[in-house]
């Protein structure tokens, strides 16, 4: 079952809300603050969580929470960061990977490549035409 980012964020905030409520109730009980101040503190605490949600949302999305792994890279388009001549470095889905040319050709830095397979953690790549290269 996948939990939506908003629900996941709200669940993560429960301990903080409980602690804030406990502190406010204790301060009220001891007479250190009035009910108006207690209400303002709790409203500000909730507002803080609402305002911070957009900053946390990208990190809570399940697609970006975990690296997809080497198997999920097959078929993706990336870009050579170093020369791939035997072995080199490519950037795919925002991650740097060691790569080897699938057909043994030299691939210059900056060229777009498609991942066609892998050998362990080393990607096998082929040059793609710039017209067919999609977002890196």
Q: Which domain holds residue 84?
A: 71-127
Q: What's the whole-number mean pLDDT along residues 92-116?
A: 91
Q: Are both 82 and 48 inside the same structural domain?
A: no
Judged against a pLDDT cut of 70, whether residue 132 lies above it is answered with no
Residues 10, 61, single domain; the answer is yes
Q: Average pLDDT of 71-79?
A: 90
40 in the same domain as 76? no
* CA distances (Å), origin 81, targets 8, 20, 89, 97, 109: 36, 48, 5, 10, 5
What average pLDDT is seen over the chain?
Answer: 86
Q: How far apart are CA 113 and CA 130, in angstroms?
A: 9
What CATH number does residue 92 fall under? 2.40.50.140
Residue 31 has pLDDT above 90, yes or no: yes
| Mean pLDDT of the region 63-92 | 81
Separation of alpha carbons 129 and 123, rounded Å? 19
- Dihedral of CA 55/10/51/16: which sign? negative
Residue-wise pLDDT for 1-22, tens only, equals 567 888 889 999 999 999 999 9
Percent of the chain with pLDDT over 70: 88
**Predicted TM-score (pTM) above 0.85:** no
Residue 93 pLDDT level (bands cut at 50, 70, 90): confident
Number of domains in the chain: 2
Whether the pLDDT of residue 136 is over 50: the answer is no
Tens-digit pLDDT profile for residues 48-71? 999 999 998 888 775 544 456 788
Is there a single domain that holds both residue 52 and residue 81?
A: no
């Amino acid at each position: 079952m996948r939990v939506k980012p908003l629900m996941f964020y709200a669940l993560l905030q429960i301990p903080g809300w409980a602690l804030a409520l406990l502190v406010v109730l204790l301060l009220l009980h001891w007479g250190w603050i009035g009910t108006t101040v207690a209400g303002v503190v709790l409203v500000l605490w909730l507002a803080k969580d609402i305002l911070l949600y957009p900053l946390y949302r990208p990190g809570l999305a399940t697609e970006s929470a975990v690296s997809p792994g080497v198997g999920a890279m097959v078929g993706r388009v990336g870009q050579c960061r170093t020369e791939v001549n035997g072995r080199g470095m490519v950037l795919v889905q925002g991650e740097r990977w060691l790569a080897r040319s699938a057909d043994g050709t030299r691939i210059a830095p900056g060229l777009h490549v498609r991942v066609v397979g892998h050998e362990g953690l080393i990607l096998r790549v082929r040059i793609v035409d710039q017209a067919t290269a999609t977002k890196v």
